[in-house]
Structure 1
Amino acid sequence: MTTPPSQADLEVAIAAARAGAEVLRGMYGTALDRQAKTATDFATAADLAAERVILDVIGSARPDDGFVGEELGRVTGAGSARVWLVDPLCGTINFAAMTTHFSVNVALTVGGRTTVAAVSHPPSGEVYWADHDEFGILGRDEVTPPPETALVDINADGPLDEPFVGAQLAADPELRRRFSPRVESTTLALAWVSSGQRLGYVTDGRHRGSVHFTAPIALCEAAGCPITDFDGNPVHTGPGIVAARDPDTHAHLLELVARHRTA
């Protein structure tokens, strides 16, 4: 089992992610109240319960820090340079459908730069962590599985009123000849890229300061995975995210994405 270095902020992040995961495990498969966000998206009582527990953990350890959650918004630390970004249940629709592709995302940004991150996968009990340029997984003996996977996840949450790269890319015959595409809508896929469980991940949109993406992007960066915007520039420079386990896969995905860019 890989063990993280003894860093106080990282310990808080891991403890918060585990606390949220424990709540979700207890509520998984139960009847839950839902609050609609859009016609196809919603929050459940589990989202709110997990976020409150995470807030308690972080607030007890770091009472002066800022906290921004997916459900509660900014609740503490207005003006603080240290801000925790939390998505207590990334993959709510999967969770509600009793599908195990969901996670708890916790990241600390200091002056806008991500310093530590923890992504918990409640069904397995694993916690993926990043501390600057160090990466590891708690709850697993091996960090990297066999390298023969060809799985590439594509985020399906694109705009409703215009074509978007994800939908077009999933139907590209060239992609299907080389990779095994899977259409997902949870940032757990980025954690899986960092660990080698996925070969790549593609999503549209702009995600700077996102409670969904900040933690798993940090994982990929700490694990040494190529991760950029759609133009191959540093992530957040332009639109989209392309992440991969190796430079060759990343370059090939960028070429395929370029075919489907819209004005």
Structure 2
Amino acid sequence: MVHSANLNVMMKTARRAGRALLKDFGEVENLQVSTKGPGDFVSRADRNAETLIREALMEARPTYGFLGEEGSEIEGQDPTRRWIVDPLDGTTNYLHGMPHWAISIALEHKGDVTIGVIYDPVKDEMFFAEKGSGAWMNEKRLRVSGRIRMIESVFATGLPFAGRADLPESLQDLARILPTCAGVRRWGAAALDLAYVAAGRFDGFWERRLHPWDMAAGLVIVREAGGIVEPLDPNGDIMADGAVICAAEPIFEKFAKTIRK
């Protein structure tokens, strides 16, 4: 399979960061942890991974901008291109020794995400897509689920923690969706939730209060796998509002109507 130069750089960088994170994951009890806010932890491994990714990407493409979770934004000499990176999506899972976390790297061109890479080092699953070239997991072409009945479908979401103000909305969402479907999963890594929709493992996903680095790579991967991706508010903007809903086409309308009521 032939990849673009940028995609090759992204995949190579994700694997390097994955190897570094796996070393610390094996000794999770010894990690030095500080707190960013209630229920939101950041580890030394997280910061080191972002540094590794930033340096590798900036060395390969020194004129591009960079937006990462742990550091301030870097304005590039080329104002049309920007890396968007989450060095460790699923930090809480990582710090609790739960093997469900990933590295997310996206490339934005003129405000549009054109390439996305999500790498799960524990399972060695590399999800990636380049606009117009389809979505893949390792060597396997991805397609969203073909299920057409809500009652047979499994959905994913994120739930607020530590008293976040959107708890009532989330509880209302669950009250509407749970009677209509086969289940809802909350696995704590939005990037992997999106990748799993692209792979047909989840039939749909929705969440509020996300950041660009949580979902940038996943959005292009879902779209290239044939999924529909929209703002949670039909009149909103996904990246600006941080609220997204996506699913396979056969059930998207019913799913979105249920959540948006």
The aligned residue for residue 114 of structure 1 is 113
The aligned residue for residue 7 of structure 2 is 10
> Equivalences for 1:28-107 in 2 at 5 Å?
28-30=25-27, 31-75=30-74, 77=76, 80-107=79-106
The aligned residue for residue 185 of structure 1 is 188
Q: 1: CA distance between counterparts of 2:221 and 2:88?
A: 17
Query: How far is 1:176 from its partner?
Result: 3.6
Does 1:203 find its partner at 2:204? no
CA displacement 1:228-261 (0-9 Å, x = unmatched): 11244686286721111x22321122121123xx
Moved more, 192-201 or 22-31: 22-31
**Paired residues of 1:220 and 1:226 also in contact (CA < 8 A):** yes
Which letter maps to 1:152? Answer: F
**Paired residues of 1:165 and 1:257 also in contact (CA < 8 A):** no
Q: 2: CA distance between counterparts of 1:53 and 1:117?
A: 18
Q: 2: CA distance between counterparts of 1:10 and 1:225?
A: 21
Q: 2: CA distance between counterparts of 1:146 and 1:248?
A: 9
Backbone CA RMSD of aligned residues? 2.5
Which letter maps to 2:208? Answer: D
**Paired residues of 2:143 and 2:226 also in contact (CA < 8 A):** no
The aligned residue for residue 249 of structure 1 is 251
Query: How far is 1:23 from its partner?
Result: 1.2
Query: Where has structure 1 moved over 6 Å in runs of 4 or more?
Result: none
Q: 1: CA distance between counterparts of 2:166 and 2:173?
A: 14
Task: Work out the percentage of aligned pairs sharing the same amino acid.
Answer: 23
Query: In structure 2, do the counterparts of structure 1 residues 206 and 13 end up closer, same or farther at CA, with 3 Å as the change threshold?
Result: same
CA displacement 1:185-233 (0-9 Å, x = unmatched): 32210011011111111101365xx111111111111112011112446
TM-score by length of 2: 0.86
Moved more, 76-85 or 187-196: 76-85
Which letter maps to 1:121? Answer: D
SS in 1 for 2:155: strand
**Paired residues of 2:229 and 2:246 also in contact (CA < 8 A):** yes
Which letter maps to 1:166? Answer: S
**Paired residues of 1:128 and 1:137 also in contact (CA < 8 A):** yes
Query: How far is 1:34 from its partner?
Result: 1.1
Does 1:24 find its partner at 2:39? no
The aligned residue for residue 167 of structure 1 is 171
Query: How far is 1:56 from its partner?
Result: 2.4
SS in 1 for 2:97: coil
Moved more, 178-187 or 109-118: 178-187
Query: How far is 1:107 from its partner?
Result: 0.5
Where structure 2 has 5 or more consecutive residues not aligned to the other structure, the ranges are none
The structure with the greater share of residues assigned to helix is: 2
Query: In structure 2, do the counterparts of structure 1 residues 170 and 78 end up closer, same or farther at CA, with 3 Å as the change threshold?
Result: farther
SS in 1 for 2:114: strand
Q: 2: CA distance between counterparts of 1:189 and 1:161?
A: 22
Query: How far is 1:79 from its partner?
Result: 6.4
Query: How far is 1:135 from its partner?
Result: 2.8
SS in 1 for 2:213: coil
Q: 1: CA distance between counterparts of 2:146 and 2:189?
A: 22
**Paired residues of 1:231 and 1:254 also in contact (CA < 8 A):** no
CA displacement 1:114-149 (0-9 Å, x = unmatched): 121111011111111111122333435564598567
TM-score by length of 1: 0.85
Where structure 1 has 5 or more consecutive residues not aligned to the other structure, the ranges are none
